[in-house]
Amino acid sequence: MRAQQISAELREDAVREQRLGDLRFRSLLSEKSWAALPLAVRRRFSKRVSRGSTVVYVGEILETEMNVPGWMLAQAARLIGAPFPLARNVHAPSVVTVTEDVASQGQIWTRLYARTSGFPQIVNSCKRFEGSTGLEEYVGYGIGMALTVHVRDEALIFRSQNYFVQIFGRRFTLPRWLTPGDIFVTHAEAGEGKFSFVLEVIHPRFGMLIRQLAMFREA
């Protein structure tokens, strides 16, 4: 009887958490900014991903543009897991999965980009709800960036604030001249259950290094 009671209590707790939703992204915005987002976007970023579960988004890369310095940056970044697009792919299938990371209490985002030849490119990163801005993107190898969150034209925008390296438990903020510039990720509702994803890497001297546009829907 006791075991059955505990099991029932655990199920009730799971249902209660699911109803509450995930408030971590919402807490990074003012009430006014959050309310300015379309309902579908608010729901997408309030979805609670329980332990052991994964949310899957499927879609297509519509545009990938990069200038010469951008291409060189993408190739050099292979040393830290290739977080940037490696080729100028268009109309290529893509899959994104979001899984709760129990260790960091954040989210693991895995992006798969099909290529015209060779194996697909796979990018792993962890969104951690910590740091001076309340949100960080960690790509591994001790490297990550602090993000700020904004709303403009009913779109949710993530912008890099600074980049850091963690070595032996200590964190060092990189000087601006050692960074790729500003990174913007824009998530906008496109209707019919679809949303657009735009990645932009803009350098103060070399301009738009990389720009990628993709369209996704939840599987």
The CATH number covering residue 201 comes to 2.40.128.20
* pLDDT at 69 (0 to 100): 98
* pLDDT at 4 (0 to 100): 60
Residue 64 is assigned to a structural domain of this protein: yes
Residue 76 is assigned to a structural domain of this protein: yes
Question: Residues 46-52: contacts with CB within 8 Å, 24+ apart?
Answer: 46/21, 46/22, 47/21, 47/22, 48/17, 48/18, 48/20, 48/21, 48/22, 49/22, 49/98, 49/99, 49/100, 49/107, 50/14, 50/17, 50/18, 50/100, 51/100, 51/102
* pLDDT at 14 (0 to 100): 46
Q: How many domains in the chain?
A: 1
DSSP 124-165: EEEEES-SSSS-EEEEETTEEEEEEEEEETTEEEEEEEEEEE
pTM of the model: 0.87
* pLDDT at 115 (0 to 100): 86
* pLDDT at 129 (0 to 100): 96
Q: What are phi and psi of 43, to 5 degrees?
A: -65, -40
Residue 14 is assigned to a structural domain of this protein: no
Residue 12 is assigned to a structural domain of this protein: no
Residue 6 is assigned to a structural domain of this protein: no
Dump pLDDT digits (tens) for 170-182: 999 999 999 999 9
Low-confidence ranges of the chain (pLDDT < 70): 1-20, 52
Question: Whole domain around residue 45: which residue ranges?
Answer: 23-218
* pLDDT at 105 (0 to 100): 85
Residue 150 is assigned to a structural domain of this protein: yes
User: What DSSP designation does 1 have?
Assistant: -
Residue 17 is assigned to a structural domain of this protein: no
User: What DSSP designation does 49 have?
Assistant: -
Residue 145 is assigned to a structural domain of this protein: yes
Half-sphere exposure of 188 (CA within 13 A, CB side): 14
* pLDDT at 19 (0 to 100): 53
